[in-house]
Amino acid sequence: MSAEAELLWHGDRDLKGVDAVVVPGGFSYGDYLRAGAIARFAPVMESVIEFANEGGLVLGICNGFQILCEAGLLPGALLDNESLKFVFRQVQMDVVDRNTPFTRNCPPTLLAPVKHMSAVLLAGAGPGRAQVCGRSQPERLAGHIAGVVNIAGNVFGLMPHPEHAVDPLTGSEDGLNIFESIRAAVDERVRVA
């Protein structure tokens, strides 16, 4: 079964009946204050929060991860890298928990690029709890935490970019495993409903 993407505008509240939401990476307005701090207030995020609270699958990649933390969908805050410099390199992610809708089709390790200025997870901040779902190598990146999933298991924040690891020409196609996992989870939900 194939999947289709539906582009959602930040100023609209309509999620257009999507089965899963991906809050992508990329810089957003106001990141000079704190990454994702302003984007969290976009009208579409009200609907994303409601969707997640009703059990919908939500993936936040890089800055999308930061926005999910700012929105309270994942606990914690992402602080500037220890080097205070932008980091851009391929990293290996050890998949710690392969029993989530986002990692169920993943091998034990994934190779994907990181591209961030703020990726040190201060896990004790904010509401709720989460469990580490992926750890990055080398250890100095992202405080060693590459991804977390909320306790309900339906919201996943990931610092490496799986969408940039989908073709051998980019150095890896491991990112496809994340998207295949989501598609399989959605297909399973549709069959049960």
What phi and psi values does residue 67 have, to the nearest 5 degrees? -65, -40
Neighbours of 41 (CB within 10 A): 14
Kindly name the residue from 69, 70, 116, 163 that is annotated as catalytic.
163
Neighbours of 115 (CB within 10 A): 17
Kindly name the residue from 62, 69, 106, 133 that is annotated as catalytic.
62
Kindly name the residue from 69, 116, 161, 164 that is annotated as catalytic.
161
Catalytic status, residue 163: yes
Residue in this structure with the two tokens 């302003």, named with its chain if needed: 38
The contacts of residue 84 (CB under 8 Å, 6+ apart) are none
What phi and psi values does residue 143 have, to the nearest 5 degrees? 60, 25
Catalytic status, residue 161: yes
Catalytic status, residue 10: no
Active centre residues (catalytic): 62, 161, 163
